[in-house]
Every structure is written in structure tokens, then in C-alpha cells.
């Protein structure tokens, strides 16, 4: 008498066919996705350089440097005054009463704390000024990037900082800078499109006062 086949054995061919069908479907989808990506026209742009190396970007940097130098001179001048005051306090330790010495030391400490607060505020002002100057340059550059994408048929233009490697012939940064300096009008943004913010470029940082 023959032993009947188990139900698991009976299901095996059907299960195998199902797996093959799934694998075939996955292979088709993967191939289709690869083909679609291969047909995608891609370029990259160094957004930061496209902003900083335009004529407006260079003028912005010059403006920020003047502001930076002015504020750094103010901080250095006050720092030198406080250092001189501290030296005077040290010299008069033997001549002043303990109470008078303490009053001068406390006054010096308050002035140092005030200077440190000014330092923080100055750096905030520099960052705010840079953001104000950068935003219109960034907006114009983005308009030109959109126009370039339309004219050249690019499907995607990626920020160069977001990819570890890219072929040099895919980099359109110099073209964007040339278009910007040539006065080419940017492509109008689509109505209702979200406003893009300029990248944080990092304003020059003032030297902190030394206590």
C-alpha cells in the first residue's frame, strides 16, 4: 500500500510558482526603474559658489567684510580698555582699601559681561545682515537654474554638496554664474510654489573678548 503524499509536498509546486512570479515581477519593475533613471537627464550645481562668486555675491562679501572689520575694531578697542583697567587694579592693590578694590573689581566684571553680550549681539547682526543680502541673490540664481533646466531639458539639477562624486561635465555652476552676471532674467516661479530659503553660508565670526 502506497503512502499518501503529505499536504506540504502537494503545495510545494504551487508555492514555488508563486515565488517565481514575484521574482519575475520584481525583476521587471527593477529593470523599468533602471531604464527610466538611465533616461533621466541630470546636472549638478554648487549653490554656495553660484551665490558667492557672482558679481552681487562678491559685493555682498565686501559689504560684510567692512561691517565685520568695523565691529571687530570696536570690540578690540573696548577689550584693550578693560585690559588696561585690570592692570591698574592690580597695581593699586596695595594702595586701595579692600572695599574700594572690591568696587573696582565688580565694576570691571560688569563691563566685561557687557562686552561679552555685545559680542553675541554683533555676531547675530552679522548673520542677519548676511541672510538679508543673500536671499535676493539666491532667488535670482534659483530662477536661472530653473531656466537652464528648461532650456537644456534637464529633469533634475542636484546641489553638488548632496552627492559624494559627480562627473565634471555634469556641473553647471559656471554656466549659472555666467548667466547671472550677464543679466539674464530668471524664469518666473510658478504661482503658489513654496518659497525657497537661501542656504546658511556662515557669516564671519568676531573674535570673542578675553576675560
Question: What one-character-per-residue DSSP string does 191-202 give?
Answer: TTPPPPPPP---
The H-assigned helical ranges of 53-97 are 55-91
Determine the Cα–Cα distance for residues 161 and 141; give it in Å rounded to an integer: 16
Q: What percent of the chain has pLDDT over 70?
A: 68
Strand partners, 43: 157
Q: What is the pLDDT of residues 130-174, one digit of tens each?
A: 999 999 999 999 999 999 999 999 999 999 999 899 899 999 999
> What is the band of 24 on the pLDDT scale with cuts at 50, 70, 90?
low
> What is the band of 211 on the pLDDT scale with cuts at 50, 70, 90?
low
> What is the band of 28 on the pLDDT scale with cuts at 50, 70, 90?
very low
> What is the band of 207 on the pLDDT scale with cuts at 50, 70, 90?
low
Spell out the domain ranges in the chain.
11-40, 41-211
Determine what percent of the chain falls in helix, strand and coil, rounding each to the nearest 5: 70, 5, 25
Q: Which helix (H) or strand (E) holds 45?
A: strand 42-45
Question: What pTM did the predictor assign?
Answer: 0.65
DSSP 8-state symbol, 160: G
Amino acid at each position: 500500500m502506497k503512502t499518501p503524499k503529505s499536504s506540504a509536498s502537494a503545495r510545494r509546486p504551487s508555492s514555488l510558482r508563486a515565488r517565481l512570479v514575484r521574482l519575475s515581477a520584481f525583476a521587471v519593475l527593477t529593470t523599468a526603474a533602471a531604464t527610466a533613471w538611465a533616461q533621466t537627464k541630470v546636472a549638478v550645481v554648487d549653490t554656495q559658489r553660484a551665490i558667492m562668486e557672482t558679481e552681487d555675491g562678491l559685493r555682498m562679501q565686501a559689504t560684510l567684510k567692512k561691517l565685520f572689520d568695523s565691529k571687530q575694531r570696536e570690540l578690540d578697542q573696548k577689550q584693550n580698555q578693560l585690559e588696561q583697567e585690570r592692570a591698574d587694579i592690580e597695581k593699586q592693590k596695595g594702595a586701595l582699601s579692600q572695599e574700594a578694590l572690591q568696587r573696582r573689581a565688580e565694576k570691571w566684571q560688569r563691563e566685561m559681561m557687557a562686552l561679552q553680550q555685545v559680542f553675541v549681539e554683533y555676531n547675530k547682526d552679522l548673520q542677519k545682515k548676511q541672510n538679508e543680502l543673500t536671499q535676493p541673490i539666491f532667488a535670482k540664481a534659483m530662477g536661472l537654474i530653473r531656466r537652464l533646466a528648461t532650456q537644456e531639458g534637464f529633469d533634475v539639477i542636484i546641489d553638488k554638496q548632496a552627492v559624494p562624486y559627480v562627473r565634471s561635465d555634469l556641473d553647471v555652476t559656471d554656466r549659472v554664474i555666467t548667466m547671472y552676471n550677464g543679466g539674464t532674467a530668471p524664469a518666473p516661479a510658478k504661482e503658489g510654489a513654496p518659497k525657497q530659503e537661501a542656504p546658511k553660508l556662515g557669516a564671519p565670526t568676531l573674535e570673542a573678548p578675553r576675560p
